């Protein structure tokens, strides 16, 4: 099994755009021919667009792009810019009179980090699409990860910077990858070493604290006591495997294990953890293999997004810690 780099994915293009001053952005994943697409939404506070359309019993099979954005519910506006871009390229569901791009998406809450009055909009979505056609592929403090933070149960003074990450593999002709924006309330655990690497960080004592332990010791208090409730980890899995719509939905559900393996706690009432699976339907493969690999790339993309993040506005990043 070989590493699959972002510019090596045959059927998908990943692009970002962001405002580094306001600290928000969006990421788009484009499949020009359309990809059979499913979704799984966990937690009690999701923010999504067009996810009902992806239900297995509904008519439309393929999406032409998915997007991940900051800006809370305002960030869903980026989807309109993505539709505009794809329409101009005549990419979409053919309804005879025109082509309608199918563009589901999910958002995360980053309004408390930078300028809450600046959010991903149509222009940012359009520019993310333009950038998807460039060769350079960057991750970390970019796109939907620009304003992402983690470890929020004690408020921003204990939180750390996270970002958007990527992981991918090639197994013979099979390709599978994931890009995930990490904005969790919880801590990040690296399963390879079985150790917490990020989350609640006590700056004075220079040590990481356990979110689960803190929540359990303060069980009688409101989870929202600090007014800092913006969480959610969102991502898209990409593969050239042949899958049905029902299978992409199930794989999205199973791949949430990748979040559970790396984020503690995950899928809380204040999270809106959402994963899309897009399949370009080129390679025959046992769907069980995709389930295993999808969980793997989601987990590794989360670790990548945390490790590639850089310290911003006093939010320390993993690469700058000396633990």
3-state percent breakdown (helix, strand, coil) of the chain, nearest 5: 30, 30, 40
Q: Please tell me the least confidently modeled range out of 21-25, 57-61, 167-171.
A: 57-61
- The class of domain 2-315 in CATH terms is alpha beta
**Higher pLDDT residue, 297 or 267?**
297
Residues 6+ apart with CB under 8 A from 77: 71, 119, 120, 121, 122, 125
Residue spans of the domains in the chain: they are: 2-315
Percent of the chain with pLDDT over 70: 96
Question: With bands split at pLDDT 50, 70 and 90, how would you rate the model's confidence at 136?
Answer: confident
At 142 the pLDDT is: 98
Q: Are 294 and 179 in contact (CB under 8 A)?
A: no
- Beta-carbon neighbour count of residue 98 at 10 Å? 10
Tens-digit pLDDT profile for residues 212-271: 888 888 765 555 544 445 678 999 999 999 999 999 999 999 999 999 999 999 888 878
- CA neighbor of 104 nearest in space, from 274, 260, 232: 274
What does the mean pLDDT of the chain come to? 93
Query: In whole angstroms, what separates CA 89 from the centre of its chain?
Result: 25
Q: What's the token pair of residue 161? A: 């910077």
At 311 the pLDDT is: 96
Query: Would the pLDDT of 127 be above 60?
Result: yes
Give SS3 for 121. coil
At 214 the pLDDT is: 87
Distance from C-alpha of 39 to C-alpha of 241, rounded to nearest angstrom: 16
At 90 the pLDDT is: 95
Q: Are 175 and 239 in contact (CB under 8 A)?
A: yes
């Amino acid at each position: 099994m070989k590493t699959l780099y972002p510019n090596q994915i045959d059927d998908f293009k990943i692009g970002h755009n962001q405002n580094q001053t306001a600290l928000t952005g969006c990421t788009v994943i484009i499949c020009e021919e359309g990809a059979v697409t499913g979704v799984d939404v966990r937690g009690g506070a999701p923010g999504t667009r067009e996810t009902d359309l992806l239900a297995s019993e509904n008519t439309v099979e393929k999406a032409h792009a998915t997007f991940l954005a900051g800006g809370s519910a305002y960030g869903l506006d980026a989807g309109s810019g993505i539709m505009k871009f794809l329409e101009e390229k005549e990419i979409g569901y053919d309804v005879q009179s025109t082509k309608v791009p199918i563009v589901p998406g999910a958002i995360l809450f980053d309004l408390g980090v930078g300028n809450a009055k600046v959010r991903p909009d149509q222009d940012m979505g359009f520019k993310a699409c333009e950038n998807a056609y460039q060769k350079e592929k960057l991750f970390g403090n970019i796109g939907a990860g620009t304003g992402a933070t983690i470890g929020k149960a004690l408020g921003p003074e204990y939180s750390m910077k996270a970002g958007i990450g990527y992981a991918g593999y090639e197994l013979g002709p099979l390709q599978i990858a994931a890009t995930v924006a990490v904005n969790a309330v919880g801590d990040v655990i690296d399963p390879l070493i079985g150790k917490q690497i990020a989350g609640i960080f006590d700056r004075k004592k220079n040590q990481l604290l356990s979110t689960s332990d803190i929540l359990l010791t303060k069980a009688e208090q409101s989870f929202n006591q600090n007014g800092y409730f913006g969480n959610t980890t969102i991502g898209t899995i990409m593969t050239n495997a042949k899958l049905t719509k029902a299978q992409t939905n199930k794989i999205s559900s199973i791949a949430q294990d990748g979040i559970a393996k790396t984020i503690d706690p995950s899928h809380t009432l204040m999270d809106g953890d959402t994963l899309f699976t897009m399949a370009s339907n080129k390679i025959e493969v046992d769907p069980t293999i995709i389930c295993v690999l999808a969980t793997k790339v989601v987990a590794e993309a989360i670790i990548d997004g945390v490790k590639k993040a850089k310290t911003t506005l006093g939010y320390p990043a993993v690469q700058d810690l000396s633990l």
